[in-house]
Structure 1
Amino acid sequence: MPTTPPPFTADDYRARMDRAALAAADAGFAGVLVAPGPDLVHLTGHRVPADTERLTLLVLAPGRDPVLVVPALEAGEAAHAPAAPALTLRDWTDGRHDPYALTAPLLDAAGRYAVSDNLWALHLLGLRGALPGTDFAALSDALPMLRAVKDARELERLAAAGAAADAAYREVLRLRFAGRTERDVARDLADLLRRFGHEQVDFTIVGSGPNGADPHHEAGERTIRHGDMVVMDFGGLKDGYGSDTTRTVHVGEPSPAEQHIHDVVREAQQAGVDAVRPGVACQDVDRAAREIIEAAGYGDLFIHRTGHGIGVTTHEPPYMVEGEKQPLVPGMCFSVEPGIYLPGRFGVRIEDIVAVTEDGGRRLNTTDRALAVVE
């Protein structure tokens, strides 16, 4: 059973908030405004439903203590957040306070702030009304790599999540595929992820036969048959950090053509992993994998980017895609997942999470990438 890493401390969160404030200053911003969502979880460990209509806002600025503006009825929970010892809480009460007027003194009246993409328009307009001279920009544009570089304790969690997903894959290979539906196998995968420590299952894609040619196929009632290629892409959150892995299996012995295409994808995936090292542009990982598939004559059948970042969400920057020139930095974690999809026939995808090290890349998924034969 994969182990549970130790919890983050208030000092860990304070270091992240300080780095975010300094990164904003380096990019020409007065600070960062963080709404409920993955950025707030990453920076403070405080989880608030993103659909709450009351303003909750983390205010970060270089040289100032972090301030968390919260509704009074949620102040008690915020006071017990993992980052609480490093935060100043400022609460507001329904009908008594204007939350935007309360927040305004924390901001530079003529400053420019990077704002969480998921901040409600209602709140952004309220802040603009309280501070008409203040300018705002989307955080994903201003600081796209805010969560991209993981510290050692985050890497520990990602490795544990990857190990748990690997354990689920090893177990599912013991089960029968033929005669059962895709939904049956997807349910097995979800149960196994939870057995091995996932508190949240985000997806269990099971695409059999022609359904495997749809990269985001939703597992359905199709009965898996002898002779099917089956794509399984699954993951979720363990101890707050994501797993995401894909393996393609075959029910019974594959044909030479099926084995060949799987071999091409396996070689492409290896080429993508081999390209990972500090200083390399994200797009070069995509190019390395894509070159193998194009050389084999299947370039038009590789229809998605090679990878995406992973952390407190299963999809986040950086992205391994043409045009992304962001250089890789030690601590970045992302998927390498090339695929070939033959409409009406089958698909093949192989995916591992890879962490950038000082001199290359380290796979966080270690299960066999060969084409497994199942019953």
Structure 2
Amino acid sequence: MTLTRRWMMKGAGALAASAALPPSILHAAQSDFKPVKLPPPISREERMARLARARELMQRNGIGAVLVESGPSLDYFTGIQWWRSERLTGVVIPAQGDPIIVTPFFEKPSIEEMLLVPAEIRTWQEDEEPLKLVADFLKECGVANQPVGFEETNRFWIEDRLKRQLPSASIVSANPVVRQLRMIKTPAELALLQAANDIMLASMRYAGERTKEGMTGADIDALIAAAQEKLGGVYDPGLALIGEASAYPHGSKKPHVVKRGDIVLMDCTCSVHGYQADITRTFVFGADPTPEQRKVFDQVHRGQQIAMAAAKVGAPAGSVDDAVRRTYESWGYGPGYKLPGTSHRTGHGIGMEVHEPVNLVHGETTPLAPGMCFSNEPGIYIPGKFGVRIEDCWHMTEAGPKFFTSPPPSIDDPFGPPS
């Protein structure tokens, strides 16, 4: 299991808190939801097209082969969904020809079940060196003296041990291949992202409408999980921040329970066939918003609109963050990332991972291009008091940016109409 910021903040005992909720509260009836049609998983044909495109990019960039270990990029190319451990499972993609999968001998049956592209599976025993299999394959392909691209999240020990087997190996970044491909989503990927966002927003609306006085963040999160189970999404426990905790983007370890007039901030994710949604909604529980709460909500709502207006094809990704921050500074926040104000970037890339390159952050020069997907979350935080974050994901089209979900119209209607 991958550790996430949400798991880190919730702590080991937080999930047990939901046991105090009555079953009637946790039970989500199918009639409570409009069904969300789930697109099919990424096809074998699309993965083979990815490999073909990867080979083109390797040849263009002078890379002889690319090594990708377990993680989202391995799934992206091969369909193999595998965790990272001290035992190497990965794919070696040569600039010409079919790839190989390297995995422990005893894992071969499991890997064969998942493999969706033509590739030979080469196994190693517990007393053997898996990187020797990689080095031998590079020699067979005639690329041992050419640069080997490493996916950017590969661990250091893989490079270190490959160089022991192949001292002449030149290790380079595989970003011109792997990142370049994964940043630009295809129609099939966009359809999966849309379904994940639809499920996520419906689940948050369900939980928000059933939040009651005295609930904890874990209680609210349990409602979201119950809703997602009915809708067909895969849920990663999220953040439900109450009162002052909402002033800290990833929450507080201090216990908080819902009281009338409290800000409640829900930041949650959902996946459909491996593609992620990330949405945040903020509302005031059981009372009219104070003038300050309303003002900050309206400013964040405006911040989202400013971000979308700045997101133009060819513009540097960082210019979106700059546009929001300039306006916030004119309202007295900051300057820059200082508080009170927006202490984090305006958004992050999203796809098979909740956070993936590139980010909408000052200094990021990557040009925005059709097919790129991001979050839009220019929250404002006032330490010691409260914070407001509204987050919706969007993708770039030839005509400009397009939201997957509609932002809420106001603090009085914090979830907007059902889709």
Normalization by structure 1: what TM-score?
A: 0.92
Alignment match of 1:91 (pick from 114, 117, 123): 123
State the superposition RMSD in angstroms.
Answer: 2.1
Alignment match of 1:269 (pick from 298, 304, 320): 304
- Partners of 2:71 and 2:314 lie apart in 1 by 30
- Partners of 1:26 and 1:285 lie apart in 2 by 30
Residue type of the alignment partner of 1:349: R
Alignment match of 1:129 (pick from 149, 154, 164): 164
CA distance 1:171–1:367, shift in 2 (3 Å): farther
1:66 aligns with 2:99: yes
1:373, CA displacement in angstroms? Answer: 6.4
What is the match of residue 337 of structure 1?
377
CA distance 1:98–1:226, shift in 2 (3 Å): closer
- Partners of 2:282 and 2:63 lie apart in 1 by 46
1:321 aligns with 2:361: yes
What is the match of residue 132 of structure 2?
101
1:172 aligns with 2:207: yes
CA distance 1:145–1:369, shift in 2 (3 Å): farther
- 8 Å contact 1:213–1:343 — kept in the other structure? yes
Residue type of the alignment partner of 2:384: G
- 8 Å contact 2:395–2:401 — kept in the other structure? yes
- Per-residue CA deviations over 1:106-146 (Å, capped at 9, x if unaligned) read 22222212213443433322211111101113445885444
1:295, CA displacement in angstroms? Answer: 1.8
Alignment match of 2:87 (pick from 38, 54, 79): 54
- 8 Å contact 2:197–2:270 — kept in the other structure? no
CA distance 1:130–1:176, shift in 2 (3 Å): closer
- Per-residue CA deviations over 1:293-342 (Å, capped at 9, x if unaligned) read 22211233110001111111111011100111101111111101001100
Written as runs of structure 1 = structure 2, the 5 A alignment for 1:153-164 is 153-164=188-199
Alignment match of 2:408 (pick from 364, 368, 373): 368
- Partners of 1:139 and 1:220 lie apart in 2 by 42
1:238, CA displacement in angstroms? Answer: 2.1
- 8 Å contact 2:71–2:83 — kept in the other structure? yes
- 8 Å contact 1:111–1:133 — kept in the other structure? no
| Segment of structure 1 superposing worse, 257-266 or 171-180 | 171-180
Alignment match of 1:110 (pick from 122, 130, 145): 145
- Partners of 1:328 and 1:373 lie apart in 2 by 32
- Partners of 1:203 and 1:360 lie apart in 2 by 32
Residue type of the alignment partner of 1:57: G
Paired residue total: 370
- Partners of 1:253 and 1:47 lie apart in 2 by 47
CA distance 1:272–1:219, shift in 2 (3 Å): farther
Q: Percent identity?
A: 33
Residue type of the alignment partner of 2:133: L
- 8 Å contact 1:277–1:358 — kept in the other structure? no
What is the match of residue 75 of structure 1?
108
- Partners of 2:43 and 2:205 lie apart in 1 by 34
- Partners of 2:176 and 2:37 lie apart in 1 by 36
| Gap regions ≥5 residues in structure 1 | none
- Per-residue CA deviations over 1:39-96 (Å, capped at 9, x if unaligned) read 1011111011212x32222111222212222222222222232523x2232233344x
- 8 Å contact 2:199–2:228 — kept in the other structure? yes
Alignment match of 1:222 (pick from 248, 256, 261): 256
Alignment match of 1:147 (pick from 167, 182, 190): 182
| Segment of structure 1 superposing worse, 27-36 or 320-329 | 27-36
- 8 Å contact 2:199–2:270 — kept in the other structure? no
Normalization by structure 2: what TM-score?
A: 0.83
- Per-residue CA deviations over 1:194-245 (Å, capped at 9, x if unaligned) read 332222x224211222111100115763111111122111113222111100
What is the match of residue 232 of structure 1?
266
- Partners of 2:123 and 2:115 lie apart in 1 by 18
Residue type of the alignment partner of 1:321: V
What is the match of residue 236 of structure 2?
202
| Gap regions ≥5 residues in structure 2 | 1-34, 415-419
